[in-house]
Amino acid sequence: MALAAPCAAREAITFDGAKLILTNGITSVEGSGGGGLATWATISGMGTNRAIGVSAHVTGVELPDFRLDTHGVAIGIRDRVELSYARQNFNTRQIGAALGLGKGFQFNQDIYAAKVRLVGDLVYGPGWLPQISVGVEHKRNLDGAVVRAVGARASAGTDFTVSATKLFLGASVLANATVRLTKANQFGLLGFGGDRKAARSVQFEGSLGYLVTPRLVIGGEWRTRPDNLGIAREDDAKDLFAAWAVSRHVTVTAAYVDVGSVATVANQRGGLLSLQLAY
The confidence score (pLDDT) of residue 11 equals: 61
pTM of structure: 0.92
Task: Note the pLDDT tens digit of each residue in 35-65.
Answer: 999 999 999 999 999 999 999 999 999 999 9
The confidence score (pLDDT) of residue 8 equals: 47
Task: Note the pLDDT tens digit of each residue in 154-184.
Answer: 999 999 999 999 999 999 999 999 999 999 9
Task: Note the pLDDT tens digit of each residue in 206-254.
Answer: 999 999 999 999 999 999 999 999 888 899 999 999 999 999 999 999 9
Q: How many domains does the chain have?
A: 1
Domain that holds residue 144: 4-278
Please name which of 98, 202, 90 lies closest in space to residue 147, comparing C-alpha atoms.
Answer: 90
Task: Identify the three-state secondary structure at position 109.
Answer: strand
